[in-house]
Structure 1
């Protein structure tokens, strides 16, 4: 009986020691995980936001006040035939209505800190610039006007080098914007397998907001598109 009692006591002692060791290991592991967690949490909050390109800037973290607004809205493209009619009367007025006073040329005062950008001359007391969308509309109008001039037999009213400039400028502008909206093709379309581009949804910058901003920051009173 005594030998059995001693065995039971020895087993109990071994189990007690094992429990103590196991408990110590669990506590050590818990403390180790707690020490690592704050470091991970700290790094998460210290991570800098990814800069995004805005208005031709290399990379910025917020929208500068001296750049046009970048608001977005959904538009459905539809045909407006007036923009393809001969550029006289109401058709010419429709095109002119797309250009703000000042022709899209704006001023940035010298109290605004500007980054280093291609084409920017810092020593000047104020900076002048053209908002690209209005340059693009000007170029589109020039090619459209050249078409109507050619139909009337006038091939020299718009210099060829101006047209070549506009075609390549528009090519690069379209590729830069990279509109990836899907224009669905249906087998009943005419011609089949093609698309007119009308009736499809696009995510667009708010043109009205850009127009108003450019007009309020203009430095001339010019009202023209050609």
Structure 2
């Protein structure tokens, strides 16, 4: 009798324990189901977000290091391009390629014919007053220093060399046309003239002036003549500043200037 009672009691205890444990298992199952999407067993968005955050935190140093390397590489490429541009181009067109010279102010200028410099007559061009007028374009103190047999290194300056060439070309042309004995380089003036043509050709290409020159007068079509061929507006250096700079350079002994009539 006692044995049966004991058995029943034990069975009852086990049943109660089973009933108590069962809700815990079901609760665990419910929690697992909350982390899964009802669609084909996929993890929920919340679970995915947590996983991404964990991975991002773990490899954050790798991301930042890669980004830093990319930025440094980009800066190096940009700096290389800037330096290459600085080496290929001077500070200002027509400037000193060593970048030691100043940056000159530019101004918009309309050219015009000036018979004080270039009279339209060969005989008049040979007048000493014309040469004196051209020499006003030079800095004071221009003189030939150095050359063969001298210990001094002679360096001319391009702008005054160009002026010299244009003036000498005009003088050779005028002397040949008028049969004047006062001709530059009498034994080889032809080669001298053509050398200057080649020099001025390259000077013009270097300047690369792309100013528009209207062919006409007062907004109307007209035959090109000695007046309306100067209709263009050009962006030019302030030549007064150029002269002042060259004057200082000559005065301080930093450069020489080829004389206008050197031949």
Query: Could you say which structure has the higher helix fraction?
Result: 2
Tell which structure's C-alpha radius of gyration is larger.
2
SS across alignment from 1:182: coil
Q: Which residue of 1 aligns with 2:40?
A: none
After superposition, give the CA deviation of every residue in 1:99-128 in whole Å (9 maximum; x if it has no partner).
Answer: 123437689xxxxxxxxxxxxxxxx98643
Instruction: Report the CA distance shift for 1:221/1:136 in structure 2 as closer, same or farther (over 3 A).
Output: closer
CA distance in 2 between partners of 1:6 and 1:79 (Å) = 99
TM-score by length of 1: 0.67
| Unpaired stretches in structure 2, ≥5 consecutive residues | 1-21, 37-43
**Could you tell me which of 1, 5, 8 is aligned with 2:30?**
8
Q: Select 1:208's aligned residue among 240, 248, 251.
A: 240
Q: Which residue of 1 aligns with 2:5?
A: none
Distance 2:241 2:161 in 1: 17
Partner of 1:40: 70
**Higher RCO structure (Cα 8 Å, ≥6 apart):** 1
Closer/same/farther in 2, CA of residues 223 and 44 from structure 1, 3 Å limit? closer
Residues 1:146 and 2:176 are matched in the alignment:
no
Do the aligned partners of residues 222 and 132 (structure 1) sit closer, same or farther apart at CA in structure 2, a change above 3 Å counting?
closer
Partners of 2:197 and 2:157 in 1: how far apart? 18
**Equivalence for 2:154:** 128
Q: 1:156 to 1:104 in 2, by over 3 A?
A: closer
Question: Quick one: distance in 2 between partners of 1:214 and 1:84?
Answer: 24
Residue equivalent to 2:112:
79
RMSD: 3.8
Tell me the equivalent position of 1:167: 197
Q: 2:34 & 2:53 partners in 1: Cα distance?
A: 16
What per-residue deviation string (whole Å, max 9, x for no partner) do you get for residues 170-202 of structure 1?
11221222222333456823227xx94534332
The answer for the alignment partner of 1:157 in structure 2 is 183
How far the C-alpha of 1:25 sits from its partner, in A, is 3.6
Aligned to 1:114: none
SS at match of 1:181: coil
Equivalenced residues, count: 201
Q: 1:92 aligns with which of 109, 125, 131?
A: 131
CA drift at 1:162: 1.7
Which ranges of structure 1 fall in alignment gaps of 5 or more residues?
108-123
Distance (Å, rounded) in 2 between the aligned partners of 1:31 and 1:222: 64
